[in-house]
Amino acid sequence: VQSGKYQYSQYALPYMMNPRLMFVNVSLLKEEGLNVPEESWTPEQFLALCRQLTRDLNHDGTPDQYGVVDYDWLDLAEASGLDLFSDDGHNVDLRGDQVRKVTETYRQLTEFMGSQTEREVLMEAGRVAFAPMSYAEFITYNPWPWKVKKYSGFDWICISLPQAADRTIRYAGNSLVMGMSAGTRDGELAWDLMKEFCVNQTTQTGILEHSQGMCVLQTDKSLLDAFLDDSGLSGDTVRAIMNQEGTRVRFSKYESAREQLADRMEKAAADPEDLDLQLVEIEETIRSYLRS
């Protein structure tokens, strides 16, 4: 429901969700003598696995097998429970010890990360162990016989993203919401239509069975388990993700501010210069943008 809020007012109802998952190359882990992580794995365990899995197989001085691909600074910040923006959207806080710790950890993680531009090549070749993946991508390319064949040369599954044990867990993913125009002449009909899509159990079950999204309403446990049976994603994982706390308070520049922050923090992580000075400069830049 919070995904349909702007600041503290409700403007829309959730219709379909697209949870964010972690692709796991099970075959690669087995080759390296490693187990699939538990659902409660932490960023520290994630970093340790990526370190073990990154290898220079042909001894040319450059890794050709990687721990992870397409995992960004914001992923790690979310995993650590960082609350960076004020609720009113006028401030950002990067001066805490936790921000420095996350950025230093991300610096280490980039040593075991494949190029984002080569994500598909690395995944299709089975040369990367982990990659964030949306539910929509999973449901399109998972190894069911009646789905599109992709990443079919090895065994893979999806699990939850790593999360700090003491963090306030929030929903990770996107949502499709449905709203009503304030100027509509048919408010009652529009409201009935919104309820048909967003609240009707039969319609919501149809979303699960016939779309690339996850239904918003809780379905019967046995129905979801049967739908996901042998898919490489457990019903318990989906329920755990969907039952997490909602999204953060949105404000007018939320998405663009997050993108700018992520871009600058990733550049800071790649820069050997003084991190404290960089954090001060980034904070001032983002704060000026928010207040402009």
pLDDT at 256: 94
pLDDT at 75: 93
Contacts of 15 (CB under 8 A, 6+ apart): 175, 176, 177, 178, 197, 198, 207, 216
Cα–Cα distance measured from residue 55 to residue 58, given in angstroms and rounded to the nearest whole number? 9
pLDDT at 213: 93
Side-chain half-sphere CA neighbours of 247 within 13 A: 22
Q: Is 20 helix (H, G, I), strand (E, B) or coil?
A: strand
Contacts of 34 (CB under 8 A, 6+ apart): 49, 52, 53
Q: How many C-beta atoms surround the C-beta of residue 216 within 10 A?
A: 23
Q: Between β-strands 128-134 and 66-69, what pairing exists: parallel, antiparallel or unpaired?
A: parallel
Q: Is 58 helix (H, G, I), strand (E, B) or coil?
A: coil
pLDDT at 148: 58
pLDDT at 131: 97
Determine the longest span between alpha carbons in the chain, in angstroms. 70
Contacts of 273 (CB under 8 A, 6+ apart): none
| Domain 17-170+248-291 = CATH 3.40.50.1950 | no
Q: Kindly give the parts of the chain with pLDDT less than 50.
A: none
Backbone angles phi, psi at 264, to 5 degrees: -70, -35
Q: Answer whether 73's CB lies under 8 Å from 268's CB.
A: no
Please report the DSSP string for 204-267 in residue order: HHHHHHHSSSEESSPPPHHHHHHHHTTTTS-HHHHHHHHTSB-PPPP-TTHHHHHHHHHHHHHH
Cα–Cα distance measured from residue 19 to residue 22, given in angstroms and rounded to the nearest whole number? 10
Could you state, in order of their start, the residue ranges of all structural domains in the chain? 17-170+248-291
Q: DSSP class of residue 172?
A: -
pTM of the entire structure?
A: 0.90
pLDDT at 265: 94
Residue 51: in which H helix or E strand, if any? helix 43-53
